[in-house]
Protein backbone atom coordinates (compact mmCIF):
# COMPACT_ATOMS: atom_id res chain seq x y z
CA UNK A 1 0.00 0.00 0.00
CA UNK A 2 1.25 3.48 -0.79
CA UNK A 3 2.07 5.60 2.24
CA UNK A 4 -0.63 8.13 1.34
CA UNK A 5 -3.28 5.38 1.27
CA UNK A 6 -1.92 3.90 4.46
CA UNK A 7 -2.31 7.21 6.34
CA UNK A 8 -5.95 7.44 5.26
CA UNK A 9 -6.46 3.83 6.29
CA UNK A 10 -5.07 4.53 9.77
CA UNK A 11 -7.23 7.64 10.35
CA UNK A 12 -10.30 5.48 9.68
CA UNK A 13 -9.49 3.42 12.80
CA UNK A 14 -11.24 5.98 15.01
CA UNK A 15 -14.57 5.24 13.35
CA UNK A 16 -14.47 1.47 13.99
CA UNK A 17 -17.10 -0.12 16.25
CA UNK A 18 -15.89 -2.61 18.91
CA UNK A 19 -17.09 -5.53 16.76
CA UNK A 20 -15.23 -4.14 13.74
CA UNK A 21 -12.06 -3.78 15.82
CA UNK A 22 -12.29 -7.48 16.76
CA UNK A 23 -12.91 -8.45 13.14
CA UNK A 24 -10.02 -6.28 11.94
CA UNK A 25 -7.75 -7.93 14.48
CA UNK A 26 -8.53 -11.40 13.15
CA UNK A 27 -7.99 -10.23 9.58
CA UNK A 28 -4.69 -8.59 10.46
CA UNK A 29 -3.54 -11.82 12.10
CA UNK A 30 -4.40 -13.73 8.90
CA UNK A 31 -2.65 -11.12 6.77
CA UNK A 32 0.45 -11.32 8.95
CA UNK A 33 0.64 -15.11 8.68
CA UNK A 34 0.16 -14.89 4.93
CA UNK A 35 2.92 -12.27 4.57
CA UNK A 36 5.23 -14.37 6.69
CA UNK A 37 4.77 -17.44 4.50
CA UNK A 38 5.19 -15.39 1.30
CA UNK A 39 8.38 -13.83 2.68
CA UNK A 40 9.83 -17.30 3.22
CA UNK A 41 9.00 -18.34 -0.33
CA UNK A 42 10.41 -15.14 -1.77
CA UNK A 43 13.59 -15.54 0.25
CA UNK A 44 14.39 -18.40 -2.08
CA UNK A 45 14.38 -16.24 -5.20
CA UNK A 46 16.57 -13.75 -3.37
CA UNK A 47 19.17 -16.46 -2.70
CA UNK A 48 18.97 -18.15 -6.09
CA UNK A 49 18.74 -15.37 -8.63
CA UNK A 50 19.26 -17.40 -11.78
CA UNK A 51 16.53 -18.65 -14.07
CA UNK A 52 15.56 -22.24 -13.13
CA UNK A 53 15.06 -23.12 -16.82
CA UNK A 54 18.13 -21.76 -18.60
CA UNK A 55 20.23 -20.56 -15.63
CA UNK A 56 20.36 -17.07 -17.15
CA UNK A 57 21.11 -14.29 -14.67
CA UNK A 58 19.05 -11.45 -16.18
CA UNK A 59 15.52 -11.27 -14.84
CA UNK A 60 12.79 -8.71 -14.35
CA UNK A 61 9.87 -8.54 -11.95
CA UNK A 62 6.75 -9.85 -13.63
CA UNK A 63 3.75 -9.22 -11.37
CA UNK A 64 2.56 -11.60 -8.69
CA UNK A 65 1.17 -15.12 -8.82
CA UNK A 66 -2.40 -15.91 -7.78
CA UNK A 67 -0.98 -16.79 -4.36
CA UNK A 68 0.65 -13.37 -4.12
CA UNK A 69 4.27 -14.44 -4.59
CA UNK A 70 6.62 -12.24 -6.62
CA UNK A 71 6.96 -13.59 -10.16
CA UNK A 72 10.02 -13.07 -12.38
CA UNK A 73 10.65 -13.32 -16.09
CA UNK A 74 13.92 -14.45 -17.60
CA UNK A 75 15.22 -12.04 -20.24
CA UNK A 76 16.99 -14.90 -21.98
CA UNK A 77 14.33 -17.59 -22.43
CA UNK A 78 11.30 -15.36 -21.62
CA UNK A 79 9.86 -17.89 -19.21
CA UNK A 80 8.39 -16.86 -15.87
CA UNK A 81 8.89 -18.40 -12.44
CA UNK A 82 8.45 -17.73 -8.73
CA UNK A 83 10.00 -18.99 -5.50
CA UNK A 84 7.73 -22.04 -5.62
CA UNK A 85 8.62 -23.19 -9.13
CA UNK A 86 10.10 -26.68 -8.98
CA UNK A 87 9.66 -26.96 -5.20
CA UNK A 88 7.56 -29.51 -3.33
CA UNK A 89 5.03 -26.81 -2.41
CA UNK A 90 4.44 -25.57 -5.96
CA UNK A 91 0.81 -26.76 -5.95
CA UNK A 92 -0.08 -25.24 -2.60
CA UNK A 93 -2.10 -22.06 -2.94
CA UNK A 94 -2.26 -21.21 0.74
CA UNK A 95 1.32 -21.31 2.05
CA UNK A 96 0.11 -19.52 5.18
CA UNK A 97 -2.19 -22.45 6.04
CA UNK A 98 0.58 -24.86 5.12
CA UNK A 99 2.83 -23.08 7.62
CA UNK A 100 0.02 -23.30 10.21
CA UNK A 101 -0.15 -27.06 9.60
CA UNK A 102 3.64 -27.32 10.07
CA UNK A 103 3.34 -25.29 13.31
CA UNK A 104 0.67 -27.68 14.56
CA UNK A 105 2.97 -30.64 13.82
CA UNK A 106 6.06 -29.15 15.45
CA UNK A 107 4.68 -26.89 18.17
CA UNK A 108 4.75 -27.43 21.92
CA UNK A 109 1.17 -28.64 22.10
CA UNK A 110 0.04 -32.09 21.07
CA UNK A 111 -0.73 -32.16 17.33
CA UNK A 112 -4.44 -32.06 16.49
CA UNK A 113 -6.07 -34.92 14.65
CA UNK A 114 -6.12 -34.47 10.87
CA UNK A 115 -9.88 -33.99 11.00
CA UNK A 116 -9.75 -31.32 13.70
CA UNK A 117 -6.91 -29.43 12.07
CA UNK A 118 -8.73 -29.51 8.73
CA UNK A 119 -11.82 -28.05 10.42
CA UNK A 120 -9.81 -25.31 12.06
CA UNK A 121 -8.02 -24.31 8.85
CA UNK A 122 -11.16 -24.63 6.74
CA UNK A 123 -9.59 -27.30 4.54
CA UNK A 124 -10.48 -30.77 3.34
CA UNK A 125 -9.08 -33.54 5.56
CA UNK A 126 -7.38 -35.18 2.59
CA UNK A 127 -5.48 -31.95 1.94
CA UNK A 128 -4.25 -31.81 5.52
CA UNK A 129 -3.25 -35.48 5.34
CA UNK A 130 -1.26 -34.85 2.11
CA UNK A 131 0.46 -31.86 3.71
CA UNK A 132 1.39 -33.91 6.75
CA UNK A 133 2.97 -36.54 4.52
CA UNK A 134 4.84 -33.83 2.63
CA UNK A 135 6.15 -32.32 5.87
CA UNK A 136 7.09 -35.77 7.18
CA UNK A 137 9.19 -36.33 4.06
CA UNK A 138 10.87 -32.98 4.61
CA UNK A 139 11.75 -34.14 8.13
CA UNK A 140 13.34 -37.37 6.92
CA UNK A 141 16.79 -36.21 8.00
CA UNK A 142 15.72 -35.31 11.54
CA UNK A 143 17.69 -38.15 13.16
CA UNK A 144 21.36 -37.54 13.89
CA UNK A 145 23.97 -39.50 11.97
CA UNK A 146 27.04 -39.18 14.22
CA UNK A 147 27.35 -40.48 17.80
CA UNK A 148 30.31 -39.78 20.07
CA UNK A 149 31.37 -40.42 23.67
CA UNK A 150 29.00 -42.51 25.77
CA UNK A 151 26.38 -43.87 23.37
CA UNK A 152 23.18 -45.53 24.60
CA UNK A 153 21.54 -48.16 22.40
CA UNK A 154 18.17 -49.80 22.91
CA UNK A 155 15.25 -51.11 20.90
CA UNK A 156 11.63 -50.05 20.88
CA UNK A 157 8.84 -51.99 19.20
CA UNK A 158 5.84 -50.97 17.19
CA UNK A 159 3.09 -53.34 16.12
CA UNK A 160 2.90 -54.01 12.44
CA UNK A 161 -0.16 -52.15 11.13
CA UNK A 162 -2.00 -52.25 7.82
CA UNK A 163 -4.35 -49.47 8.71
CA UNK A 164 -6.40 -48.45 5.70
CA UNK A 165 -5.79 -51.76 3.94
CA UNK A 166 -8.78 -53.61 2.45
CA UNK A 167 -7.23 -57.11 2.73
CA UNK A 168 -9.64 -58.56 5.28
CA UNK A 169 -12.69 -56.96 3.72
CA UNK A 170 -11.78 -58.50 0.36
CA UNK A 171 -10.99 -61.83 1.97
CA UNK A 172 -14.38 -62.08 3.67
CA UNK A 173 -16.15 -61.07 0.49
CA UNK A 174 -14.35 -63.59 -1.70
CA UNK A 175 -12.00 -65.96 0.17
CA UNK A 176 -10.96 -67.83 -2.96
CA UNK A 177 -9.76 -64.80 -4.89
CA UNK A 178 -8.30 -63.14 -1.78
CA UNK A 179 -6.44 -65.47 0.60
CA UNK A 180 -6.28 -64.48 4.27
CA UNK A 181 -3.50 -61.99 5.08
CA UNK A 182 -0.46 -63.52 6.83
CA UNK A 183 -1.18 -61.91 10.18
CA UNK A 184 -4.37 -62.29 12.23
CA UNK A 185 -6.01 -59.09 13.31
CA UNK A 186 -4.49 -57.83 16.54
CA UNK A 187 -7.62 -58.31 18.65
CA UNK A 188 -7.64 -62.00 17.76
CA UNK A 189 -4.39 -62.57 19.65
CA UNK A 190 -6.14 -61.80 22.93
CA UNK A 191 -9.19 -63.11 24.68
CA UNK A 192 -10.50 -60.87 27.48
CA UNK A 193 -7.14 -59.14 27.62
CA UNK A 194 -5.17 -62.37 27.96
CA UNK A 195 -2.72 -63.44 25.29
CA UNK A 196 -4.07 -66.69 23.86
CA UNK A 197 -2.35 -67.07 20.52
CA UNK A 198 1.33 -67.52 19.76
CA UNK A 199 3.40 -66.00 16.99
CA UNK A 200 2.71 -62.41 17.91
CA UNK A 201 6.26 -61.26 18.48
CA UNK A 202 7.32 -61.60 14.87
CA UNK A 203 4.84 -58.87 14.01
CA UNK A 204 6.48 -56.40 16.36
CA UNK A 205 8.69 -54.12 14.27
CA UNK A 206 11.99 -53.31 15.99
CA UNK A 207 13.21 -49.71 16.09
CA UNK A 208 16.84 -49.09 17.00
CA UNK A 209 17.28 -46.12 19.31
CA UNK A 210 20.58 -44.31 19.83
CA UNK A 211 21.35 -41.34 22.06
CA UNK A 212 24.57 -39.76 23.22
CA UNK A 213 25.38 -37.26 25.94
CA UNK A 214 25.73 -34.34 23.52
CA UNK A 215 22.00 -34.70 22.78
CA UNK A 216 22.23 -36.60 19.48
CA UNK A 217 19.32 -38.98 18.94
CA UNK A 218 18.26 -41.42 16.27
CA UNK A 219 15.35 -43.73 15.65
CA UNK A 220 15.70 -46.23 12.85
CA UNK A 221 13.46 -49.05 11.79
CA UNK A 222 15.54 -52.20 11.42
CA UNK A 223 14.39 -55.33 9.57
CA UNK A 224 15.35 -57.66 12.46
CA UNK A 225 17.58 -57.85 15.55
CA UNK A 226 20.24 -60.15 14.13
CA UNK A 227 23.88 -59.43 15.02
CA UNK A 228 24.74 -58.51 11.42
CA UNK A 229 21.84 -56.04 11.21
CA UNK A 230 22.76 -54.34 14.50
CA UNK A 231 26.46 -54.16 13.53
CA UNK A 232 25.74 -52.71 10.12
CA UNK A 233 23.38 -50.09 11.54
CA UNK A 234 25.84 -49.02 14.25
CA UNK A 235 28.80 -48.91 11.89
CA UNK A 236 27.20 -46.10 9.88
CA UNK A 237 26.82 -43.70 12.80
CA UNK A 238 29.18 -44.59 15.67
CA UNK A 239 32.47 -42.78 16.23
CA UNK A 240 35.50 -45.09 16.31
CA UNK A 241 36.30 -44.21 19.95
CA UNK A 242 32.74 -44.23 21.30
CA UNK A 243 31.70 -46.21 24.38
CA UNK A 244 28.56 -48.33 24.07
CA UNK A 245 25.89 -48.90 26.75
CA UNK A 246 23.13 -51.38 25.96
CA UNK A 247 20.69 -53.92 27.35
CA UNK A 248 23.01 -56.73 26.33
CA UNK A 249 21.43 -57.87 23.04
CA UNK A 250 24.13 -59.98 21.36
CA UNK A 251 24.44 -57.66 18.36
CA UNK A 252 25.82 -54.86 20.54
CA UNK A 253 28.45 -57.13 22.08
CA UNK A 254 29.40 -58.32 18.59
CA UNK A 255 29.84 -54.73 17.43
CA UNK A 256 31.96 -53.84 20.48
CA UNK A 257 34.22 -56.86 19.90
CA UNK A 258 34.66 -56.15 16.18
CA UNK A 259 35.49 -52.49 16.73
CA UNK A 260 37.36 -52.92 20.02
CA UNK A 261 35.32 -50.42 21.98
CA UNK A 262 34.15 -50.54 25.61
CA UNK A 263 30.69 -52.00 26.11
CA UNK A 264 28.64 -51.70 29.31
CA UNK A 265 25.65 -53.97 29.73
CA UNK A 266 22.77 -52.68 31.80
CA UNK A 267 20.30 -55.01 33.53
CA UNK A 268 16.55 -54.68 33.40
CA UNK A 269 15.89 -55.42 37.09
CA UNK A 270 15.84 -52.69 39.78
CA UNK A 271 19.31 -52.06 41.14
CA UNK A 272 21.02 -53.26 37.94
CA UNK A 273 19.80 -50.50 35.63
CA UNK A 274 23.08 -48.61 35.84
CA UNK A 275 26.42 -50.22 35.11
CA UNK A 276 27.93 -47.10 36.75
CA UNK A 277 26.67 -43.55 37.31
CA UNK A 278 27.77 -42.63 33.79
CA UNK A 279 27.04 -45.93 32.08
CA UNK A 280 23.31 -46.44 31.73
CA UNK A 281 20.64 -46.26 29.03
CA UNK A 282 18.24 -43.93 30.79
CA UNK A 283 18.31 -41.29 28.04
CA UNK A 284 17.36 -43.92 25.46
CA UNK A 285 14.62 -45.20 27.79
CA UNK A 286 13.30 -41.69 28.33
CA UNK A 287 13.23 -41.17 24.56
CA UNK A 288 11.18 -44.38 24.24
CA UNK A 289 8.71 -43.15 26.84
CA UNK A 290 8.26 -39.88 24.94
CA UNK A 291 7.88 -41.76 21.64
CA UNK A 292 5.15 -43.91 23.19
CA UNK A 293 3.28 -40.83 24.36
CA UNK A 294 3.59 -39.24 20.94
CA UNK A 295 2.48 -42.21 18.89
CA UNK A 296 -0.38 -43.48 21.10
CA UNK A 297 -3.04 -41.04 19.82
CA UNK A 298 -2.45 -42.25 16.23
CA UNK A 299 -3.63 -45.74 17.29
CA UNK A 300 -0.99 -47.66 15.38
CA UNK A 301 -0.07 -45.68 12.26
CA UNK A 302 0.17 -47.83 9.14
CA UNK A 303 3.61 -49.43 9.05
CA UNK A 304 4.42 -48.06 5.63
CA UNK A 305 4.23 -44.58 7.18
CA UNK A 306 6.06 -45.49 10.38
CA UNK A 307 9.40 -44.03 9.29
CA UNK A 308 7.72 -40.69 8.67
CA UNK A 309 6.16 -40.73 12.15
CA UNK A 310 9.50 -41.57 13.77
CA UNK A 311 11.29 -38.66 12.11
CA UNK A 312 8.34 -36.40 12.89
CA UNK A 313 8.71 -37.37 16.56
CA UNK A 314 12.46 -36.69 16.53
CA UNK A 315 11.90 -33.30 14.89
CA UNK A 316 9.34 -32.38 17.57
CA UNK A 317 11.57 -33.72 20.30
CA UNK A 318 14.41 -31.45 19.29
CA UNK A 319 12.24 -28.45 18.46
CA UNK A 320 12.71 -28.10 14.69
CA UNK A 321 11.50 -24.69 13.49
CA UNK A 322 8.42 -25.01 11.21
CA UNK A 323 9.62 -22.04 9.14
CA UNK A 324 12.83 -23.95 8.42
CA UNK A 325 10.71 -26.82 7.10
CA UNK A 326 8.87 -24.53 4.70
CA UNK A 327 12.22 -23.12 3.60
CA UNK A 328 13.64 -26.62 3.02
CA UNK A 329 10.71 -27.47 0.75
ZN1 LIG B 1 15.74 -18.48 -18.71
148-163 residue pLDDT tens: 999 999 999 888 888 8
Report the pLDDT value the prediction gives residue 263, as an integer from 0 to 100.
93
Ligand 1 center from residue 39 Cα (angstroms): 23
Ligand 1 center to 133 CA (angstroms): 32
Domain range list for the chain: 17-87, 150-302
- What's the mean pLDDT when you consider all of the chain? 88
The full length of the chain comes to 329
Question: Which residues is 194 bridged to in the sheet?
Answer: 191
- How far is ligand 1, taken at its centre, from the CA of residue 56, in Å? 5
| Residue among 138, 142, 148, 181 nearest 163 (CA) | 181
Pairing of strands 194-195, 190-191: antiparallel
Half-sphere exposure of 328 (CA within 13 A, CB side): 16
How far does residue 153's CA lie from ligand 1's centre (Å)? 51
Q: Which residue did the predictor score with more confidence, 216 or 83?
A: 216
Question: 134: CA distance to ligand 1 center in Å?
Answer: 28
Strand, coil or helix: 125: helix
Residue 59 CA to ligand 1 centre (angstroms): 8
- Residue 37 confidence (pLDDT): 85
2-11, 34-43, 247-256: the lowest-pLDDT one: 34-43
Instruction: Specify the pLDDT at position 183.
Output: 80
Residue 85 Cα, ligand 1 centroid: separation in angstroms? 13
pLDDT at 299 over 90: no
Query: In this predicted model, what pLDDT tens digit does every residue of 103-143 receive, in sequence order?
Result: 999 988 899 999 999 999 999 999 999 999 999 988 988 89
Higher model confidence: residue 273 or residue 295?
Answer: 295
Expressed in angstroms and rounded, the spacing between residue 60 Cα and the centre of ligand 1 is: 11
**More confident site: 200 or 179:** 179
The per-residue pLDDT for 34 is 85
Mean pLDDT of 213-239: 93
CA dist., res. 200 & res. 186, Å (int): 9
Is-above-0.85 flag for pTM?
no
Of the candidate CATH numbers 3.30.70, 3.30.420, 3.40.50, 3.10.290, the domain formed by 150-302 belongs to 3.30.420
Calculate how far, in angstroms, residue 117's C-alpha sits from the geometric centre of ligand 1.
40
Which 3 state secondary structure label does DSSP give 62? strand
- Residue 52 CA to ligand 1 center (angstroms) comes to 7
8 Å CB contact between 286 and 211 = no
Residue 17 pLDDT: 94
Q: Which has more pLDDT, 236 or 194?
A: 236
Amino acid sequence: MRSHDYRRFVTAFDRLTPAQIEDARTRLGDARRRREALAEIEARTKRERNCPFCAGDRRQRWGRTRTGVQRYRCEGCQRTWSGRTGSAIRGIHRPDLFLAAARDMLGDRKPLSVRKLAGRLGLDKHTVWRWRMLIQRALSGASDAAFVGVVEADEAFQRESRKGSREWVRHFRDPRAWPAPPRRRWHEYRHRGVLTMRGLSRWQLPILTLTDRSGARRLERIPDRRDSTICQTLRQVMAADAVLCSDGLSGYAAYARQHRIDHFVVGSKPGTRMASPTHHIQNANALHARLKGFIAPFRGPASRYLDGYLQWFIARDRGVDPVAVLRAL
